[in-house]
Amino acid sequence: MLLGVNVPNFGPGTDPDTLRRWALTAEGLGFDLLMLSDHVVITSDVAERYPAPFYDPFTTLSWVAGATSRIRIGTTVLIVPYRHPLLVARMAANLNDLSGGRLVLGVGVGWARQEFEALGVPYERRGRLTDEHLEVIRAAWADDGDYRSGGVPIWVGGSSDAALRRTARFGEGWHPLHSTIPWLRETWPRLKKMAAEQGRPAPALAPRILLRITDSPVTDPGRRAGEGTIDQILDDLEQLSGLGADTVVFDTYNRDPAETLHPEAAWQRLATVAARYRGR
């Protein structure tokens, strides 16, 4: 099972040098994948969670790809309705080519109503638009023309029934966010059945989980994967591996923008998990 890192590409402590240090640290610790999130307009609803400066994922991943040699790169997740699908198809195909085939395109429908309004995209149609755009992206990549992707895998984010159907239809991977192990254990077979009904192979299970290391065990029955003592987190990884997870992406950000000023704390948590996981 591969391990990835969701890197903050936003916030007061984020700048080109910090992003480069994040990339080199993640690669140096042996992580397999580095992913960035996506927003275009930092409206007030976005800024509450992810304040400026917010670095565009495609541009920043190009910078990261040039600074690294091995680690894969990806989006968690690109908000599909924000851009013309042929633009996404070209940017993803080009970035995959320039990085030596290292791109994973994680996609989602988005949630920030004010940002949709600022971009002139109908919020209520975001699910349907995502499906339509993914069809166009797939068709562009399948053509023998100038959009050859080199096999960029699409990971579909989300946990709703619509997201599961979208994954079954379009995804090489399913990329749920901040879930519990029991919910994943219950939902994963449903998704595999949906994919079979579509005549497609089951997508890879590639969840993004928390990385919140506590001194005492978290006993809440609703505890999310990746939250608790280091032993609890390692047990979560064992259970995800047992479910057949292909990749697990750690999310170190705890919704406090001040964290971006001190990335060393997140790096230490990642180093702890990496060392203990490899030791097992």
d(CA 36, CA 258): 18
Which pLDDT does position 149 carry in this prediction? Answer: 84
Tokens of 162: 């619509």
Signed CA dihedral, 137, 61, 159, 201: sign only:
positive
**Selection from 111, 228, 249 nearest residue 178 by Cα:** 249
What pTM was computed for the model?
0.97
Condensed to tens digits (0 to 9), the pLDDT of residues 93-133 reads 999 999 999 999 999 999 999 999 999 999 999 999 999 99
pLDDT beyond 90 at 279: no
pLDDT beyond 70 at 144: no
pLDDT beyond 80 at 205: yes
d(CA 87, CA 103): 16
d(CA 206, CA 30): 18
Burial of 72: CB neighbours in 10 Å, binned 0-12, 13-18, 19+: buried
Which pLDDT does position 188 carry in this prediction? Answer: 97
What mean pLDDT comes out for the span 249-257? 96
Average pLDDT score over the chain: 97
- Inter-helix orientation angle 161-170/181-197, to 10°: 50
